[in-house]
Structure 1
């Protein structure tokens, strides 16, 4: 009897010593399932530039300019699936002494991208993208402020397509190639549509100037889209972002490439103050120069397509919310 009790005690001690190891082994084999992850970022900022003169011998005009920007992003990741959406808006004005208020920047842009890769080690994603872009207010060829050359949804652009996207770190470097991308150009203003602005078919008039066939308000294209995004930390608190888009239409002038390339350099002073230096280069053969024929009759004509370029330099405030 006493031997049985001895062996029972030995067994209990052995079991109690071995139990943590066996539990440890089981824990090592537990596979943690990934969970969906949402990430939301919101950023607002204002860039200011002001010049003032008092008895300045070299002359000059007092001026002040400001650009207000708001950007919101929402990212979703789960296993090998990624979804990224963003809304980007900017509006800039400039006021010079004894001159009317001028618009310097105007943008409303919506982006949404879906991606799926076959394995964790793959750097290629099957992707689908949507991009929509327009402006808030009328645009003018200053100093003429009586004849707008652009308006809200005149133009408006929408790209939608699917393809492949390469990205080792897809948030900082990506190359997207879509062999099938639909492009829609909206010119919902009657006068600009009749003039054939931004590539739509112009109106057909009779000999007396009456409209027989109204101008096209929506132009649709099907082509190839190539997009490259690159983000680089140049130095401490200095970052560079480059976005380049190249598009050519299968049906109309294949090989004639539309270009939209934007480069932005951010200089971060602290969490609330920054400086920005930006450049944007655009070319679209369908976007012709609008020439005013008769200001009183609101008559327009088309000129040739030209390279468009804008440069931005500002110092301002930024806040995350």
Structure 2
């Protein structure tokens, strides 16, 4: 009787042990399958974009406090096309926007926005969420820019100061790319080349034009570049994008750091209507010795694709 009980306990133990081993193997295989699915479901191209039309209008009639009738509109495109395959990632982003303002007492339409920017980061996985990277950034504008003033008779005049590709900025170099998700990523590039393109006809003898010397059409810099992108949902239907770019030139005035920060906040009303806020701050002493800022706020019509 005792021998039979012992034999039964032994067989039960062996069976239990085998069952536990089988369970562990099933769990391990399941985890591998899940990881494989997670790693491959986002392989290939992933594309998304948004077109925004922002409209503002003010009208005054017998308004004692004063005011000037004005009408403005901004059209913007934000398009991402990212690629992933195994340990390779390639993130691309196009930002384009253009805006005009017309006021009753002005002889000219004036720009409220003029921007074209292309960003591209190619990465090969190194360890964890870090990638060996090579990035490229290009920035310019679509149309001519003017400086406004008054002539001797008080009439408004304007002087052409910028144009498409004048200035234009091409920045590129190798580095390390950290990417937690499409909404949080950082790129560090310690050997970055930056080329500033201008129309040589604009360069003046008494000062450099966007850092480019008189008679020249370009300027080369080598330095350290850092960029970051962070998007978060502040609350239901309210999202915020933050983009920060920093650059320091090793070859001249390395202590001067160029800063370009953009905040874009979207407050969604419904599928097609939003309230949008864009704030941008730039410090680049080659362009202007001071802080440049711009702000756009208004009701926008959106179309996602």
Q: Please, what TM-score do these two structures have when normalized by structure 1?
A: 0.77
Shift of 1:245: 0.9
| Structure 2 alignment gaps of length 5 or more | 1-25, 150-155
1:11 — aligned with what? none
Distance verdict in 2 for CA 1:229–1:34, change over 3 Å: closer
1:171-199 Cα shifts (integer Å, max 9, x gaps): 11112111111000000241236662100
Is 2:126 the partner of 1:118? yes
Distance 2:296 2:218 in 1: 31
| Aligned mates of 1:193, 1:131 — CA distance in 2 | 27
Which residue does the alignment assign to 1:93? 100
In structure 1, runs of 5+ residues without a counterpart are 1-24, 203-214, 289-304
Report the Cα offset of residue 318 of structure 1: 0.7
| Counterpart-to-counterpart distance in 2, 1:264 and 1:42 | 15
Q: Does 1:61 align with 2:72?
A: no
Instruction: Give me the TM-score of the superposition, normalised by structure 2.
Output: 0.81
Aligned to 2:8: none
TM-superposition CA deviations, 1:99-137 (whole Å, max 9, x none): 121111101111111112135xx1111111100010011
The answer (yes or no) to whether the contact 1:181–1:224 under 8 Å persists in 2 is yes
Write the distance in 2 (CA, Å) between the matches of 1:126 and 1:246: 19
Equivalent pair of 1:193/1:217 in contact (CA under 8 Å): no
Aligned partner of 1:158 in structure 2 is 170
Contact map agreement 2:241 2:263 (CA 8 A) in 1 = yes
Matched, 1:187 2:198: yes
Superposed displacement of residue 316, structure 1: 1.0
Quote how far apart the aligned CAs of 1:275 are. Answer: 1.1
Does the 8 A contact of 2:200 with 2:216 survive in 1? no
- Residue 112 of structure 1 aligns to a residue in which SS? strand
| Runs of 4+ with deviation above 3 angstroms | 27-36, 143-146, 192-195
